[in-house]
Structure 1
Amino acid sequence: MPEGIDPNAVLQIGQEQCAQLEAVKAADPKAVVSQLIEKTDTNMVDAIAALCPGLQPELVAAARGFSDGEYTVGEAAAKDGSGSVALGSYEAWNPSETCQLTAFDAAGRTLAESTGTSPVTIPAGTARVVSNGCYTWLTA
């Protein structure tokens, strides 16, 4: 704990964040996964493990999702809109009217497209995925 920081205040903030995430989960389980895709960092992972372990399944699901950005195909998405995504089926949570996801092969040919209104499969042979206006993609 950095000097001058009250550990009780940090604990209270963490407990409040857990309560907020639990409330979102109760209202819409996919919404909390989407929120974790957007906001998860090392501190959040540690806080969930220590303070709200009931959110662990949603945290695992969030690690398999991705946000808008440009990605290569690999194991897991980075949360900063770059990195890689895994092959598989995804669904957009609360996409905008301008949502567009396109999966390209190595030659730049389109293999799959989605406007977020239904699940999309990132197929074998995909080299690059680009998503705009979709916010977050969860595994379907």
Structure 2
Amino acid sequence: MRSPFPAGAAVVMTVAALAACGSSADGNGPEAAGAQRPAASGPAVPGSTATTSTPPATPTAPAAPTAPAAEEPEVTAPDATAEGPKTPSDEITPATGTFTKKQKEYLEDRVPKGMDPAAVLQTGQETCDKLRYLVKVDRDTAVGAIATREISDAPAAVAGLCPQHQDLVDEAAYAYADGSHTGRTLRPGVYRSASPTTNCSWHIEGAGGKELASGTSDTGKSRRITIPESARTFTSTGCYAWLAEGAKG
């Protein structure tokens, strides 16, 4: 039996693993295109530890008060997902080297004006790295991370940079994240919880708010439920995500 991970643990483990790896194993990272990862900021250079004797300063009259300098507005980097003008595809080039055809297709209409395209590519490649790691650890957690939008850019990154993970995106499309689901979003079938917490609970209602099924679990282990065709509302808390079993449609 798969040992499920608690919700949120996937991110912590992913960050630790990616920090140890340092670069993508897919060979599509910014470095492969000639783009440089930003260097980490090092510690400030310490000043000299030697001291010299100086005569005491001569007392002077206090200076007249001056008006405080106006604060400069904080400048933030552009957001790759923000609306606004994008860099034309024929102008998307790295500082050095070239992008592959697949990388350029991924970057098309995705690079805001004034942003380094290598930075946008790096973000997408890091998403592929996260999925690659999570699949090795626990596939259900990888699908759940996409369904809950914990890895929000997975569909775009997978389509453009790591299509070998398309099955994860397809399965996540039929999953339910924690929350309340009603109407057309409900699909009857059997579902299993992915990475539930020890405070997992669910509630299924039919027409007129009639209770059809409910349950709780404090074990942290995966549970299975059936959403009937008569269901009108499905609510889940602390279960992270529910993945569909069997035929999907």
Q: Which TM-score tier does this pair reach, normalised by the shorter chain? A: 0.7 to 0.9
Structure 1 residue 107: Cα displacement: 2.1
Aligned to 1:107: 208
**RCO higher in structure (CA 8 A, sep ≥6):** 1
Aligned residues: 130
- Determine helix, strand or coil for the equivalent of 1:95: coil
Kept in 2, the 8 Å contact 1:114–1:120? The answer is no
Q: Deviations over 1:25-53 (max 9, x none)?
A: 11111110011111255x43122101010
Aligned to 2:237: 132
Alpha-carbon shift at residue 67 of structure 1 (Å): 0.9
1:15–1:51 Cα contact (<8 Å) kept? yes
Give identity over the alignment, percent.
34
TM-score, structure 1 as length reference: 0.84
1:19-58 paired onto structure 2 within 5 Å? 19-39=129-149, 41=152, 43-58=153-168
In structure 2, what is the Cα distance between the partners aligned to 1:114 and 1:91? 13
**Do structure 1's residue 11 and structure 2's residue 116 form an aligned pair?**
no
The CA RMSD measured in Å over matched residues stands at 1.6
Matching residue's letter, 1:86: R
3-state SS, counterpart of residue 143 of structure 2: helix
Alignment of 1:61-72 (within 5 A): 61-72=171-182
The answer to whether 1:87 aligns with 2:188 is yes
Does the 8 A contact of 1:112 with 1:123 survive in 2?
Answer: no
Report the structure, 1 or 2, having the larger strand content: 1
User: Higher Cα Rg: structure 1 or 2?
Assistant: 2
Q: Equivalent residue of 2:202, what SS?
A: strand
- The amino acid that maps onto 1:34 is G
Higher helix share: 1
Q: TM-score, normalised by structure 2?
A: 0.49
Cα distance in 2 for residues equivalent to 1:28 and 1:44: 17
The unaligned stretches of length 5 or more in structure 1 are 75-83
Residue 73 of structure 2 is matched in structure 1 by none
Deviation string, structure 1 residues 103-124 (Cα, Å, up to 9, x no partner): 1111222212233542100012
Amino acid at match of 1:114: G
Unaligned stretches of 5+ residues in structure 2: 1-110
Instruction: Give, in whole Å, the separation in 2 of the partners of 1:121 and 1:11.
Output: 41
Q: Quick one: distance in 1 between partners of 2:224 and 2:154?
A: 28
